[in-house]
A = this chain, B = another copy of it.
Amino acid sequence: MVSGVSLGQLATRFGLVLRGDPDVIVDRVATLSGAGPGAVSFLANAKYRQTLASTQASAVVLEADDLEGCPSAALISKYPYADYARIAACLYPTPTAEPGIHPSAVIDASAQVAATAAIGPQVVIGAGVLIGERVQIGAGCVLEDGVSVGADTRLAPRVTVYRQVRIGARCVLQAGCVLGADGFGIAKDAGAWIKVPQVGTVVVGDDVEIGANTTIDRGAIEDTVIEDDVRLDNQIQVGHNVRIGAHTAIAACVGISGSTTIGKHCMIAGAVGIAGHLEITDHVVVLGLSMVSRSLTQPGVYASGMPVSDAAEWRRIVARLRHIDGLTDRVRALEGVVEAAQAVMK
């Protein structure tokens, strides 16, 4: 946390219009309801508009339309959540480790580590690894032979990066994620399985975030590719040869089977399952717990998640659904009878 910044400085730095005293100092962020003097808050979700009137924040980042209901100073923004993010980043700079290599780290002699990089304790770095400027490698990470990590990328503790994986600049990898494990390639032969060598790798673009315990498999032959500015939440599984387009965001617990391509600017909600060998076009939104088992060639919003009912009611629904085939036949039979009757009546 920094010691504080004036509203005037924030307005100038981020190009916002300030309503209020430019000399007021803020030194932290808070929710509208949790804020007190010294805190800056934001309004970006209509759901919280009713809380605005009673906020004790020193300043609120909001859209011009919400200005009237704001009791405090205001920083007027077209994209309040984005400008809030910038202000928060200014008040809470990312903790950075001191450059240098911790003595407990095991670094192969052929690895090239930038002098400005910080390599934490118990890190293992293999042969030929390239570590860019200002990179941070958290405690206990393992980077196998031939890995490269672009400038300003940060690895949290205990990340595993298999051989030859290439990671771009300004990425953030959370703890426990695994990049480049073997894809699930097995071939049946006389009743037993043979492992199919996975000879591709993983290529991660710039500005990518990868969540805790997320796994991205290396390609079977060609590479698995995560394009620039992709944002992956925790516990996502990305199969071999998947390609995820730039600016796509994927929430936690999603599974993407092998050789599927997801377009740019897509948003995939939590726990969605996507089958293999599909093409999902740009600007597709998939709602939570849905199953994508065919290619989606048109932008749009897709869903198949089933919301909970009372369990007893749900059991009845399921029982009825199992007979929907028969029910449809019964309706057709009734239609036939009615039609015949109507014909007679004429």
User: A residues engaging B (CB < 8 A)?
Assistant: 28-31, 34, 44, 47, 79, 81-82, 84-86, 88-89, 92, 94-95, 102, 104, 106, 120-122, 124, 138-140, 142, 144-145, 156-158, 160, 162-163, 172, 174-176, 178, 181-182, 184-189, 191-197, 199, 207, 209, 211-213, 215, 217, 221-222, 229, 231, 233-235, 237, 239, 247, 249, 251-253, 255, 257, 265, 270-271, 273, 275, 277, 285-294, 296, 300-318, 320-325, 327-328, 330-331, 334-335, 337-338, 341-342
Q: A121-B124, A158-B142 are in contact. Are A89 and B197 (CB under 8 A)?
A: yes
Q: A187-B81, A288-B275, A302-B308 are in contact. Are A29 and B95 (CB under 8 A)?
A: no
Contact B192–A217 (Cβ < 8 Å): no
Chain B residues with Cβ under 8 A from A277's Cβ?
Answer: 47
- Across the interface, name the chain B residue whose C-beta is closest to A182: B174
Q: How many copies does the complex hold?
A: 3
- Across the interface, name the chain B residue whose C-beta is closest to A86: B194
What are 16 A-B pairs with beta-carbon distances under 8 A? A84-B196, A88-B199, A124-B140, A176-B176, A176-B178, A193-B229, A193-B247, A211-B215, A237-B270, A253-B255, A288-B291, A288-B293, A300-B310, A304-B307, A306-B306, A313-B325
Nearest chain B CB to A271 CB, angstrom units:
4
Nearest chain B CB to A169 CB, angstrom units:
14
Contact A158–B156 (Cβ < 8 Å): no
- Across the interface, name the chain B residue whose C-beta is closest to A87: B197
Complexed CA–CA distance, A286 and B316 (Å): 17
Q: Which of B160, B172, B234, B237 contacts A234 (CB 8 A)?
A: B237
Contact A144–B160 (Cβ < 8 Å): no
Contact B309–A303 (Cβ < 8 Å): yes
Nearest chain B CB to A100 CB, angstrom units:
14
Counting chain B CB atoms within 10 Å of each CB, the highest count among A120, A209, A253 belongs to A253
Nearest chain B CB to A119 CB, angstrom units:
13
Chain B residues with Cβ under 8 A from A185's Cβ?
Answer: 85
